[in-house]
Chains A and B, each alone.
Chain A
Amino acid sequence: MASALTSTFNRYMELVGDQVVFTGRFAKNIFRGGFEWGEFVRQCFIVGYLSVGLVGITGFIIGFVLTLQTQPTLKEFGAESYVPGMVSISIIREIGPVIIALICAGKIASSIGAELGSMKVTEQIDAMEVSAANPVQYLVVTRILACTIMVPLLTIMADALAMAGGWVGVNVQDNVSATLFFRKSFAALEFSDVVPSVVKTFFFGYAIGFVGCYKGYHSSRGTESVGRAANSAVVSASLWIILIDAVAVQITNLIYY
């Protein structure tokens, strides 16, 4: 029993150590000369542009459904005018960033994990290494930075569409002008609602890119490991998003309240 616990602990510590080393390699290679701008732009296109449809539709529907769910309850208390504020605060502070990050974890982390895992299995990463090229700079730095930049942009877009979805939701039963809805939405928001939620999305993006790259880059040989890399990338990235969110809430409360 004790030896099993020791072995599990050792394995865990090895994993942590390995991730720290991988982070170091990533950080060192950002500032090394010969940044892969072409590959970085390509990854921004894949991570960002190719996720616009999924993220946009999801954002719109979140806002729409949230409004439809809360409107009847608030109506009962005669507090219908609070619907725009409630929707905007919930979306901007919590629901938008977390749901969009989880969707990106499913779409992007799995795709990066599978892609790099497949490159590892087919010896493409070894081929880069043995040809004296730098696979971390080409594959890892570009993907992590693309995720770190594109996930916040996707979240901002999804938040905007969620607000639009909220306005459409309100208009299913009532007749509220867009001007009134959005004015009340923005009036309810404060600086402390917007900034921390945008800042945390950078960390979400970094976690998605990092976990996808780490799992793919360290997948073992064999085709089965590609599936495992993709799967564990999604699971780990989702877990990291929830953990980062919990820490971000604490930090925000400490700073602003």
Chain B
Amino acid sequence: MDDTLVQEKNTATATDEEVVIRIEHLKKSFGDNEVLKDINLELHKGENIVVLGRSGQGKSVTIQCIAGLLEPDEGKLEVLGKEVRELSSEELKEMRMKLGFLFQSGALYDSMTVRENLAFPLTRVLKMTDEAEIEKRVTDVLASVGLEDAIDKLPSDLSGGMRKRVGLARTLIMRPAIMLYDEPTTGLDPITSREISELIIQLQEKYETSSIIITHDMNCARIVADRIVVMNDGKYIATGTYDELANSPDELINNFFK
């Protein structure tokens, strides 16, 4: 993706104002350690928000709360119009079916081949039994991430970038409405990082997802972000496009863009 395209992407705000995630005054502590102090955020349909912040600021904790992996202490957390904290286990399951989560490590099931990894949510969650249909969805989504040849490989035979792609394919196979990315380019070389960032954009367009992307990689942020949110000391302290924040007079914000 060249710089003109990036510019166009950054200036294009979400036309659809439907809010898919609404967070108000979210707080989360671990013992005496108050990680999230007052988080407020709205993710609109079709929008990509990048969350920037130094390590240990609670960026991953925020998306883990959204996915229901952690329970917040206080605040409002709505996903697709439903308050996550009030969901029954069945409702939480339904909500998770519309949510994709790409873990930092890829989190592939290491005793299964790529095919089995991708078929896992189809057979267990969607209860699909038609082998031909499962195979078609697996090969289609693998083609989307450019890894058709890796279908019978084990995760241990894949490189870091390939693992991320397969992890991405495994979440996309469920056709989620919202994607949560936890540092999708960490640990990858610059070329692969760029490929993954571009893939995120392509797949967002293809599957029409809304995304929250946690990253430290400014190139990734530049490529994927419609809007960037900067996090510090358990709060979101600034929001804007890449260019707006890059020219911010605030030194703390500006430091991320140097």
Contact = CB atoms under 8 A, between A and B. Distances in A.
Given A122-B110, A124-B110, A126-B69, A131 B105 contact: no
B96 interface: yes
Contact of B107 (A34, A127, A133, A134): A127
Contacts of A134: 124
Contacts of B124: 34, 133-134, 138
Interface size class of A (residues with CB under 8 A): 10 to 19
A138 B104 CA distance: 23
A123 B103 contact: yes
**Closest A-B pairs by Cβ, 10 of them:** A127-B107, A132-B96, A123-B107, A133-B124, A130-B101, A123-B103, A131-B121, A132-B93, A132-B125, A132-B97
Given A34-B127, A126-B103, A131 B109 contact: no
B197 interface: no
A55 B108 CA distance: 33
Contacts, number: 57
A18 interface: no
Interface of B: 67-69, 93-94, 96-97, 99, 101, 103-105, 107-110, 120-121, 124-125, 127, 167, 170-171, 174
Nearest to A122: B105
6 contacts: A123-B105, A126-B107, A127-B101, A127-B103, A131-B121, A132-B93
Contacts of B105: 122-123
Contacts of B93: 132
Contacts of A123: 103-105, 107
Contact of A133 (B108, B110, B121): B121
A129 interface: yes
B19 to A, nearest CB: 21
Contacts of B107: 122-124, 126-127
Interface of A: 34, 119, 122-124, 126-134, 138
Contacts of A127: 101, 103, 107-109, 167, 170
Given A129-B69, A130-B69, A130-B101, A124 B125 contact: no
A119 B111 CA distance: 10
B69 A133 contact: no
A138 B121 CA distance: 12
A126 B97 CA distance: 14
B164 to A, nearest CB: 13
Nearest to A127: B107
B69 A124 contact: no
Contacts of B69: 126, 129-130
Nearest to B120: A133
Contacts of B174: 131-132
Contact of B108 (A34, A124, A130): A124
